[in-house]
Amino acid sequence: MIYLGNYGDWVDDNKLIEYMDTHEGVMSPRDQNHENDVKNVLHETSWNSYTSECTIQYNDTEYLPLELPDVKTDYYWLNKMLPGMCMPWHRDSNSDTVKVRYWMPLQDYEPGHIFICKHELMVNYKKGDLFKHEDPSQYHLAGNLGWINRYTLNLVEFK
Amino acid sequence: MKLIGNYVDWIDDKWIDYVINNDGRPMPDKSDLENATETQEERDNPLSMHWTTGRPLIFPTLCYQYDIKNTDFIIDAPWPMATHSEWWINKFMPFMLGPMHQDGSRTNEPNVKYYRYWMPLQDYEQGHIFIYEHTLITDYKKGDLYLYDDPDAQHCAGNSGWTPRLSLNITAWECI
């Protein structure tokens, strides 16, 4: 993961956590209605049978337009993970169309809030730190083994 | 976490067969839950109850545990250890996750020194999680023996992978 800079003030200005805490979101992958995504991510294992509540996603771009200063992005989604939620080791289903993939925590690092990419655990980050994936199709996982909600923003630039 | 050595040749495959093929004790234990009482901290932070009472959102079992009470074997560590010890094996099926915590212990007892050991019973796999304080333990081999630098250190474990995750845990202690 390549660190690009800090956008903490931008996070505050956009009230992203407040937005998630006051809107319903979509339980992913359970309620996404993306059958192929579910098959791709949760194939062949017990994940599919009882763990479809992996993260709560928000990508209402009409209601929450986001433009990150000085960074070209085409699409975003916000994630809220309650304690105990976890997205298994996976590659995002839109990997073939993505040119650049970004990840931004919306709160300071909290023990138990995990994002693992290429066997690297992200720690000691600050709210609004922006990271670029070295490889947009890299396998990764995220989870909340902590005690408070975990909030992140994912952004992509398409090819 | 200090890597002390590798004891793969000491591991008896029948332990692994037993753990894979038998139900362990679901953790948290039902009796623990029935006897659980809310702490002030839990009342202040209702989300913490997701962990302490079993997670209502997803799956209530954090892991399966095996020890001398529910197995047909005894584990006697060959490395030099303190005078007293207890062992348990944890099995995390895919999606079982344990929160960041400190092991319950008596480490605040005066004149008692504690040692905590952790040994994976399989080579590292993607999605198998063991985090000691702020470090993800990776690239380990079956039988690697680790000693906690601090027996009270926060840690968490889970399985975000695709195969069961097995580990041996030993707490040892002695009067000093």
Q: What is the mean pLDDT of residues B162-170?
A: 94
The 10 Å CB-count burial string (b at 16+, else e) for B73-86 is: eebebeeeebeebe
Dist. CA B18–CA B40, nearest whole Å: 40
Identify which of A125, A86, A91 has the alpha carbon closest to the alpha carbon of residue A1: A125
Given a contact cutoff of 8 angstroms between Cβ atoms, the answer to whether A128 and B82 are in contact is no
Identify which of A81, A86, A25 has the alpha carbon closest to the alpha carbon of residue A57: A25
Residue B80: cis peptide before it, omega within 30 degrees of 0: no
The CA-based angle A82-A88-A90, given to 5 degrees, is 130
Both structure tokens of B116: 């905590």
Residue B153: per-residue pLDDT: 92
Dist. CA B161–CA B116, nearest whole Å: 25
Which of the two residues, B34 and A74, has the higher pLDDT score? A74
pTM: 0.86
Both structure tokens of B127: 């999605």
B contact set with A (CB within 8 A)? 45, 47-48, 50-51, 55, 57-59, 93-95, 97-100, 126-127, 129, 131, 133-136, 138-139, 154, 156, 158, 160-162
The CA-based angle B69-B72-B74, given to 5 degrees, is 80
Write the CB contacts of B26 (distance below 8 Å, at least 6 apart in sequence): B60, B61, B64
ipTM above 0.90, yes or no: no
Query: Which of B44, B126, B135, B140 to probe the A interface (max A CBs under 10 A)?
Result: B126
Residues in A closer than 8 angstroms to B95, CB to CB, are: 46-47, 50-51, 86, 88
Neighbours of B46 (CB within 10 A): 9
Q: Which of B8-12, B26-30, B52-56, B101-105 has the lowest mean pLDDT?
A: B52-56
Residue B67: per-residue pLDDT: 96
Dist. CA B156–CA B37, nearest whole Å: 23
Q: Which chain B residue's Cα is nearest to A52?
A: B58
Q: Which amino acid is at B10?
A: W
Residue B30: per-residue pLDDT: 59
pLDDT in tens, chain A (159 residues): 999 999 999 999 989 999 999 998 888 776 665 544 444 444 444 444 445 678 888 987 666 777 888 899 988 999 999 888 888 888 776 767 899 999 999 999 999 999 999 889 999 999 999 999 999 988 899 999 988 899 999 999 999
Domains of chain B: 2-175 (2.60.120.10)
Domains of chain A: 2-158 (2.60.120.10)
A149–B156 C-beta distance less than 8 A: no
